[in-house]
């Protein structure tokens, strides 16, 4: 659906998909029943993931070592399950003003809705696939329990998606090669879309380790295109703050920016009535124009605790708000858009608030 903006002098109608892009993955009609008591789910459809660019900025201080995941059980060993609670928050706000009023710095958070998911995650060795440019070694499955959504008007939809399954094929370094989504056959269309939308926020935080030896203080970046946001580029900056054995503590910073410099819009203007035309109906005039990206900025804060013998972080939270300002060449109007996201990893027993909240940052 088009997003409508209004101001005192002009109305901006953005062409569908120009500013806010989302990916809703189609799911096949056939279904499969798991061996446990989980509801029957539809056949999953895979989504290829572009390979990120990993750049080491600093190797850190000695002792140095390499870091890679070790969550695939040994041959013949029993498959282990990691149970945890995943809180995923999203928010969007926009305002229309003048260039003088548009602050280019992103705020530290914004109003969000939160989807709380009990997760059971497991890993097995990945089977060979001819469709992957980079061979995956790990096949990770995340099964969703009974969700809790802070938007109570849509809770029946998210509740219908209990049993949703997210599959991730990945390398030992943490690089995802393929994502797959499988919804319960009884899930509503909106329930499926919401689950996919929020889980894509989770998958937009890949923890990819470099192949180089690293120590405390090591810093590296992971550049990627955000899955589901085809015009959004992202840089994740990781810093090792400590490690012991297979456990690693990380600081995380997020930076996002559009990959396009302008978007097409249609401006709508109604002529001012004159005494001669006062009784005639005013006819709006639509004119195609472009809105240029004037600036983009991200404010973020994040820490994660990673156990390399488990597929998901054991604790931590990453929160970020990206502000993009659009402006036209023929007027002083500015459209300011803020997108806020947060991903929190907690213990399986931890309960999260189910009311609308504001994601804030302390750094």
pLDDT in tens, 224-251: 998 655 578 999 999 999 999 999 999 9
Instruction: Over range 272-290, report the average pLDDT.
Output: 65
Share the mean pLDDT of the chain.
Answer: 84
What's the pLDDT at 360? 40
What's the pLDDT at 11? 33
Residue predicted with more confidence, 90 or 264: 90
- Per residue, the 3-state secondary structure of 211-236, as one string, reads CCCEEECCEEEEEEECCCCCCEEEEE
What's the pLDDT at 275? 60
Whether residue 150 contacts residue 137, with contact meaning beta carbons closer than 8 Å, is answered with no
Is residue 131 packed enough to be buried (19+ CB in 10 Å), middle (13-18) or exposed (0-12)? Answer: exposed
Q: Of all residues in the chain, what percent carry a pLDDT higher than 90?
A: 66
Owning domain of residue 158: 3-18+44-75+82-272+282-348
Q: Is residue 358 part of a domain?
A: no
Q: Is residue 32 part of a domain?
A: no
Write out the E strands in 183-283: 214-216, 219-225, 232-244, 247-258, 262-270
Q: Is residue 242 part of a domain?
A: yes
Establish how many alpha carbons lie within 13 A of residue 214's alpha carbon, considering only the half-sphere containing its beta carbon: 26
Reference 68, options 252, 311, 236; nearest CA is 311
With 90 as the cut, is the pLDDT of residue 12 above it?
no
Report how many domains make up the chain: 1
Instruction: Over range 185-213, report the average pLDDT.
Output: 96
The lowest-confidence range among 14-23, 44-53, 118-127, 155-164 is: 14-23
Residue predicted with more confidence, 210 or 288: 210
Indicate the pLDDT class of residue 202, thresholds 50, 70 and 90.
Answer: very high
Reference 337, options 123, 97, 124, 120; nearest CA is 97
Whole-angstrom distance, CA of residue 22 vs CA of residue 200: 10
* pTM of this structure: 0.82
Longest dimension (CA), the chain: 89
Reference 12, options 262, 264, 267; nearest CA is 267
């Amino acid at each position: 659906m088009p997003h409508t903006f209004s101001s005192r002098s002009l109305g901006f109608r953005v062409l569908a998909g120009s500013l806010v892009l989302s990916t809703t993955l189609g799911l096949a009609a056939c279904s499969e029943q798991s061996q446990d008591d989980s509801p029957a789910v539809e056949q999953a459809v895979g989504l290829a993931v572009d390979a990120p660019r990993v750049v080491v900025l600093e190797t850190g201080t000695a002792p140095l070592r390499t870091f890679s995941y070790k969550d695939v059980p040994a041959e013949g060993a029993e498959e282990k399950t990691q149970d945890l609670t995943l809180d995923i928050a999203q928010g969007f706000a926009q305002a229309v003003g003048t260039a003088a009023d548009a602050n280019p710095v992103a705020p530290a958070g914004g109003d969000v809705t939160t989807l709380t998911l009990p997760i059971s995650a497991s890993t097995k060795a990945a089977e060979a696939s001819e469709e992957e440019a980079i061979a995956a070694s790990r096949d990770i499955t995340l099964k969703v329990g009974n969700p809790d959504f802070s938007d109570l008007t849509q809770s029946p939809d998210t509740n219908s998606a209990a049993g949703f399954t997210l599959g991730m094929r990945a390398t030992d370094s943490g690089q995802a090669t393929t994502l797959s989504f499988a919804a319960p056959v009884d899930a509503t269309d909106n329930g499926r879309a919401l689950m996919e939308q929020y889980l894509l926020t989770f998958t937009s935080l890949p923890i990819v380790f470099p192949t180089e030896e690293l120590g405390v203080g090591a810093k590296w970046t992971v550049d990627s295109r955000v899955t589901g946001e085809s015009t959004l580029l992202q840089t994740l900056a990781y810093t090792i703050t400590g490690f012991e054995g297979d456990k690693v503590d990380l600081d995380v910073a997020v930076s996002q920016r559009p990959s396009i410099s302008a978007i097409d819009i249609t401006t709508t203007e109604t002529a001012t009535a004159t005494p001669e035309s006062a009784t005639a109906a005013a006819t709006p005039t639509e004119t195609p124009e472009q809105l240029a990206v004037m600036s983009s900025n991200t404010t973020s804060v994040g820490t994660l605790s990673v156990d390399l013998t488990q597929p998901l972080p054991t604790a931590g939270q990453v929160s970020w708000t990206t502000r993009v300002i659009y402006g036209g060449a023929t007027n002083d109007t500015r459209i300011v858009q803020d997108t806020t996201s947060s991903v929190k990893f907690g213990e399986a027993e931890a309960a999260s608030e189910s009311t609308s909240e504001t994601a804030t940052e302390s750094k």
